[in-house]
């Protein structure tokens, strides 16, 4: 009897086709809820998951469940403690979307620096004179400060320094000096980095220690010409504090792909401001990245169910 894999939220064809080619039964759900996932997972050996919460209740309903593979990097929506207690291996795809997210960071940076969204709207209304009033800034020679210098941060650093001639500095509490990326100047604390940077880009997970890590206290340390970027996780910026800073022009602009609550409400006060560029948490969703995330997740499932060590384990089983 073959293995069965549940995909509560649909993915691109690559990962599904890979599993099917190996003889897996693949079930894709429509409009999943916690209760409907509990019913569907009862006879499944693995789950390939995206953005919904995956709770102990769901895992306990999967009597045969051995592996949960995350279609992407972050696992904050998966109850890792429950998975470990129940002997369920969790895997992810930490390298699949690295380039896509890094490119999106640069896109938001350029949109903010060149006032792309504003000038687009003005041009469409016939206001060609806006070119003489609202001026762009060049990013060559400016200081990019990275808070978090892992895979994505390092890719952003490479694109910013080699592609645009920026100086890149970084702070990361978890990378020791002897493993520090050679192309990023190390800063020992976040406050010094914030004060020095013209552009600040966040690359940290959402944890109890990072929630609201950017708030009114350290926004006050930023230059009035600063641009703040977040393509990491919602909730690491206090959105109320960011709103006040942007409204009062305490900083120049922000480029935001992630929000404290998602989907973000159309009534989010940030959306009333003209000096913020936003996107719907789609930084990682290039065609290429989505296919690779599916393949990495599918291969993780196949490894676990066939007794092999997965390439990207998240939790450690006894």
Whole-angstrom distance, CA of residue 8 vs CA of residue 48: 7
Clarify whether 233 is annotated catalytic.
yes
Clarify whether 115 is annotated catalytic.
no
Whole-angstrom distance, CA of residue 67 vs CA of residue 3: 11
Give which of 31, 28, 2, 1 is closest to 17, Cα–Cα: 28
Residue 73: count other Cβ atoms within 10 Å of its Cβ: 23
Residues for the chain: how many in total? 318
Contact present, 246 and 274 (Cβ < 8 Å): no
Catalytic choice (138, 188, 191, 262)? 262
Q: What DSSP string runs through 121-153?
A: HHHHTT-GGGGGTS-----TTPEEEEE--SHHH
Catalytic choice (233, 239, 244, 308)? 233
Clarify whether 188 is annotated catalytic.
no
Give which of 132, 134, 50 is closest to 97, Cα–Cα: 50
57 strand-pairing partners: none
**Could you give the residue numbers annotated as active site?**
233, 262, 281
């Amino acid at each position: 009897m073959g293995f069965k894999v549940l995909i509560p939220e649909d993915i691109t064809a690559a990962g599904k086709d890979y599993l099917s080619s190996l003889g897996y039964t693949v079930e894709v759900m429509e409009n999943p809820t916690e209760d409907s996932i509990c019913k569907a997972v009862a006879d499944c050996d693995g789950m390939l998951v995206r953005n919904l919460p995956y709770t102990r209740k769901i895992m306990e309903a999967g009597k045969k469940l051995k592996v949960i593979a995350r279609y992407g990097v972050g696992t904050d929506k998966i109850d890792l403690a429950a998975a470990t207690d129940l002997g369920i291996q969790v895997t992810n795809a930490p390298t699949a979307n690295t380039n896509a997210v890094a490119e999106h960071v640069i896109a938001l940076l350029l949109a903010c620096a060149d006032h792309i969204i504003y000038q687009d709207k003005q041009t469409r209304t016939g206001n060609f004179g806006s070119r003489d009033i609202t001026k762009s800034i060049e990013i060559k020679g400016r200081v990019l400060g990275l808070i978090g210098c892992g895979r994505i941060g390092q890719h952003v650093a490479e694109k910013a320094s080699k592609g645009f001639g920026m100086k890149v500095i970084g702070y990361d509490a978890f990378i020791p000096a002897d493993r520090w990326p050679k192309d990023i100047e190390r800063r020992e604390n976040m406050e010094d980095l914030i004060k020095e940077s013209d552009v600040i880009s966040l690359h940290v997970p959402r944890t109890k220690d990072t929630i609201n890590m950017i708030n009114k206290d350290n926004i006050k340390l930023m230059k009035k010409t600063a641009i703040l970027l977040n393509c990491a996780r919602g909730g690491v910026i206090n959105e109320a504090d960011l709103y006040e800073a942007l409204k009062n022009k305490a900083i120049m602009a922000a480029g935001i792909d992630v929000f404290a609550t998602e989907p973000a409400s159309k009534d989010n006060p940030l959306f009333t401001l003209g000096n913020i560029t936003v996107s719907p948490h789609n930084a990682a969703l290039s065609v290429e990245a989505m296919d690779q995330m599916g393949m990495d997740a599918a291969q993780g499932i196949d490894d676990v169910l066939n007794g092999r060590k997965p390439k990207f384990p998240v939790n450690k089983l006894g």
